Amino acid sequence: MILSVSRRTDIPNYYSDWFYNRIKEGFLYVKNPMNPHQVSRIALSPDLVDCIVFWTKNPEPMFARLHELDDYAYYFQFTLTGYGRDMEPNVPHKKNHMIPVFQRLSDRIGSSRVVWRYDPILFNDIYTEDYHIRAFEQIAEALSGYTKRCVISFVDAYAKNRAVLKALGVRRNVLCGWDISDNQAENESCEVSGDGMDGLKKFAGRLGSIARRNGMEIVSCAEELDLADCGIGHSSCIDRTFIEEITGYAIEAYKDKNQRAACGCVESIEVGAYHTCPNGCKYCYANVSQKQVRKNYMAFDADSPLLCGRIADGDKITDRKVVRLSKS
């Protein structure tokens, strides 16, 4: 099995001791977000875990205990953007702190196991196309030699984050006709044509040139747009080929049906929980209320099998069937 740690919250930053304790004890609990009384018990034996995929904006809290993962294959999806505190209020200073953290992690585990994510890309009056180009170039130059892959994606509007994006003045209309407006259908997708496509391709092409100049492959994540002409291929965060390179063996894995149609990720087991990430990123779809995040964070117990909570009356715990994906 592949563990996703985590799309829903920044476990490496805020809950690393909990995860290490779960590794030590050999299991954890995950509540079904659609039915919190359904609880899955996930076994974490190295014999069952093919790979762990960490998602984070700050993995530094994990450094002291990384040796506890020596029996596991793993890699980090490290999000490092050019946004300031207005967008990512609780992420430490990028140039002074986070870039050195990225470099230290790469030195520790190798550049092939730290993927740089510059996403989501959003546009407003502050974060313009030129702003992103400058920020991307500065970060790429600092990370040259410390990563082999860069992943980009454009912001998506969901029911849970649409009002916030509108308040931030987020737009993509200049490039591809996408806009946050009162009369836009809730699930309307971005339709790109004409000058919009040309503008987006020009922008993406500049990112691609910068990445390649700094020794990085650049790919897109969960994008319907074909950017192959810009040298940017479709890829995925939980990518079978990439994981096979990490593990050193072939795996039998299929597309994750629980993700968006444009997402190419293979199936994984998500171990996080919604409304538990204190990063406070304004564009986030996984936290709709900072009040709820604070409440959940206060309930965090590093020794509990369950992230940010306890088993309650009426909860049903079921052992989830997990298998190793190796073809051998």
pTM of the entire predicted model? 0.89
Closest to 32 in 3D by CA, of 323, 317, 278 = 317
Alpha helices in the chain (DSSP H): 11-14, 16-25, 99-109, 129-143, 162-167, 173-176, 194-213, 240-247, 290-298
Neighbouring C-beta atoms of residue 243, cutoff 10 Å: 22
From first to last of its 328 residues, what are the pLDDT tens digits of the chain? 999 999 999 999 999 999 999 999 999 999 999 998 999 999 999 999 999 999 999 999 999 999 999 999 999 999 999 999 999 999 999 999 999 999 999 999 999 999 999 999 998 999 999 999 999 999 999 999 999 999 998 876 666 667 777 888 886 543 344 444 444 443 343 333 334 567 777 888 999 999 999 999 998 876 667 676 777 767 778 888 999 999 999 999 888 777 766 676 889 999 999 999 999 998 888 887 889 999 999 999 999 999 998 898 999 999 999 999 987 6
